[in-house]
């Protein structure tokens, strides 16, 4: 009887030490899209599709983004950032007439098919020399995995 109890105790203790934990970094690689509206320039009051193609290596994320309607790309740029657990923090750099605009954002990655990119400051460092200035409004974009 003592051997049986001792055997169960050894088995129970060995099971405690052999647990595996899931990956602690979310995977955001792929194509994402969501509605994005400019309040100032380059197209005040119009809603576009923000599309991002992201590549992830470990916790580092890079990629490209475009804001377009069904006819043309309005503006575009690069995405860079890091995933830490279930948080994706990054920046969008803008090319074209509003370059070198930069927007810092963060998003929860708890849902693998949807994340809201939130920026409290919107695009900053954009030139004011563009007619009407460039958009610097804060934004929330619900991005859906495509």
Residues 20-54: tens digit of each pLDDT: 445 578 999 999 999 987 655 555 667 889 999 99
pTM summary value: 0.75
Whole-angstrom distance, CA of residue 21 vs CA of residue 5: 29
Joined tokens for residue 134:
């460039």
The pLDDT value given to residue 20: 46
123 close to 134: Cβ distance less than 8 angstroms: yes
Joined tokens for residue 11:
């088995």
- DSSP assignment of 118-136, as one string? EESS-EES--TTSTT----
What fold characterizes domain 30-145?
Lipocalin (2.40.128)
Q: Is the dihedral of CA 121, 124, 126, 127 positive or negative?
A: positive
For residue 37, give the nearest of 50, 24, 47 by alpha carbon: 47
Q: What is the mean pLDDT of each run of 10 residues along the chain (146 residues)?
A: 45 46 80 81 71 97 90 87 96 80 92 94 72 68 95
């Amino acid at each position: 009887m003592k051997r049986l109890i001792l055997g169960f105790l050894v088995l129970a203790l060995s099971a405690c030490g052999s647990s595996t934990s899931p990956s602690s970094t979310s995977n955001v690689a792929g194509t994402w899209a969501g509605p994005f509206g400019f309040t100032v320039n380059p197209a005040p009051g119009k809603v576009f599709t923000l599309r991002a193609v992201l590549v992830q290596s470990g916790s580092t994320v890079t990629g490209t983004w475009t804001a377009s309607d069904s006819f043309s790309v309005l503006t575009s740029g690069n995405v860079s950032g890091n995933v830490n657990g279930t948080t994706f923090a990054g920046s969008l750099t803008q090319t074209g007439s509003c370059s070198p605009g930069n927007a810092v954002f963060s998003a929860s990655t708890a849902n693998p098919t949807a994340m809201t990119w939130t920026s409290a400051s919107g695009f900053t460092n954009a030139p004011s020399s563009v007619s009407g200035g460039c958009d610097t409004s804060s934004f929330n974009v619900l991005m859906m995995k495509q």
